[in-house]
Chain A
Amino acid sequence: MKKSIALIAALATLALPMSAQAHRAWLAPTSTVLSGADAWVGFDAGMSNGVFIPDHAAMNLAGLVITAPDGSTAQPENMVRARYRSSFDLHLTQPGTWKVANVSSGINATYRENGEEKRWRGQAAEFPGAIPAGATDVVATRTSNRVETFVTLGAPTDTVFTNPASGLVLIPVTHPNDLAAGEAATFKLSMDGVAASGVEVTVARGGTRYRDNPEEMTVTTGADGAFTVTWPEPGMYWLNATVRTPAQGETIAANAQYVAVMEVLP
């Protein structure tokens, strides 16, 4: 028990901004379905054991990319990094669905130098020169992380649901801002542009502080990368999937992580 606590603490301090080995990364909007000529939405982003409960660490939002329905990039406003959460506002100035994503990638490495275990993390380009010549037991993992959410002003649109050629992404079949309790929703996972089959997806609803059972669900993607969730109750939901690829020959291991936050209405 003591060992695992020490390990969690070590990972929490050393981990990449969003690698979240021990803690869950979340990016939660204050509303997801909006009407009117324009609208403001606030966002909180943190890392903690209980999703949407800011009690551990604020998220580093260096990789924040906001995509407007017309494909342009929008800027956050009123950005603040508090102790346990980072917050910002987004002014929705055009109708349709907006994507708010925090994306990062890099390499995590461990190695031994003069009998001492050391760690390194940084960008892939810096990696070749970063490990000392005398190092042994080099274990490196390429990491890619995407934490995202969607908000819609007026009628939902699907222009922001692109499938990049790299990383683990979600491609909606059901629109993520058109979710209702008791209904089923289907999404597809894609890894480096190819359907990600056999991947476990964890589905957790917020508000765990006010109930005893965490009520988490796990579903697995099929051959086409698709998975279906039937929302048991209204609420803010956290969806997470991880794809680990072992090292193969000259290619180092990879760890791709995806998180989406979606609101389910009554």
Chain B
Amino acid sequence: MRKLTLAATAAMASAAAAPALAGDLNVSVEIPRLSVAAYHRPYVAVWIERPDNTAVRTLAVWYEVSNVAEGKDWLKDMRTWWRRGGRAMTLPADGVSSATKAPGRQTVSVPGARLAGLPAGDYVVVIEAARELGGREVVRVPFRWGAANTARASGSTELGAVSLTVTR
């Protein structure tokens, strides 16, 4: 089932122009250390969009994977991701979902082979964090696929510095 879902997504992404020669995509996300009374690690989703906000591919979802009964109940709180693609996914998904991450710098490394069907062009990596008893924040990082480039942005509440590298 999981493999089927991935295959379907790849097929959709390859519908348009010729795929770019595969580089790797690395995203670094800082989860801020917050001094609050009841801290829970945030749920975080990282995905690729086109400039018109249509989703291309979810790269990572960090949620309470170990809580089989209730861990997915709050996926909807990452509202933007849920609406643009999350709600159509089957989770957990190999290579995409994992446990919530501790404060500090976290990285998402996507080997070029996984994005082999993605046509060259302008895209946006979107990072959304939603925290229990806390807030929600979305950070958008425009980048170019098909050539080596870097980009950075920063959140102000639930996310810290975000940087992105496309290698050839």
B79 lies within 8 A of A35 (CB): no
B88 lies within 8 A of A34 (CB): no
B87 lies within 8 A of A154 (CB): yes
Query: Is chain B's interface secondary structure helix, strand, loop, or mixed overall?
Result: helix
The reply on A134 being an interface residue by CB < 8 A is no
Give the residues from 8 to 53 in chain A that come closer than 8 angstroms, CB to CB, to chain B. 33-37, 39
Partner of A34, one of B70, B76, B79: B76
* Interface 1/0 per residue, A179-210 and B, CB below 8 Å: 01000000000000000000000000000000
Bound-state CA distance A154–B74 (Å) is 11
The reply on A113 being an interface residue by CB < 8 A is no
B76 lies within 8 A of A33 (CB): yes
B70 lies within 8 A of A36 (CB): yes
B73: chain A residues within 8 A (beta carbon): 34-36, 39
Residues of A in contact with B, size category: 10 to 19
B82 lies within 8 A of A37 (CB): no
Nearest-CB residue, chain A, relative to B89: A155
B76: chain A residues within 8 A (beta carbon): 33-35
Nearest-CB residue, chain B, relative to A33: B76
A35 lies within 8 A of B82 (CB): yes
Given contacts A154-B87, A155-B87, contact A36 B75 (CB under 8 A): yes
B72: chain A residues within 8 A (beta carbon): 35-37
Bound-state CA distance A265–B84 (Å) is 13
* Interface 1/0 per residue, B37-77 and A, CB below 8 Å: 00000000000000000000000000000000110111110
Q: Which residues of B contact A (CB under 8 A)?
A: 69-70, 72-76, 79, 82-83, 86-88
Q: Which residues of A contact B (CB under 8 A)?
A: 33-37, 39, 154-156, 178, 180, 265-266
Q: List 9 A-B contacts (CB under 8 A).
A: A35-B75, A35-B82, A36-B73, A37-B69, A154-B87, A155-B87, A155-B88, A156-B87, A265-B79
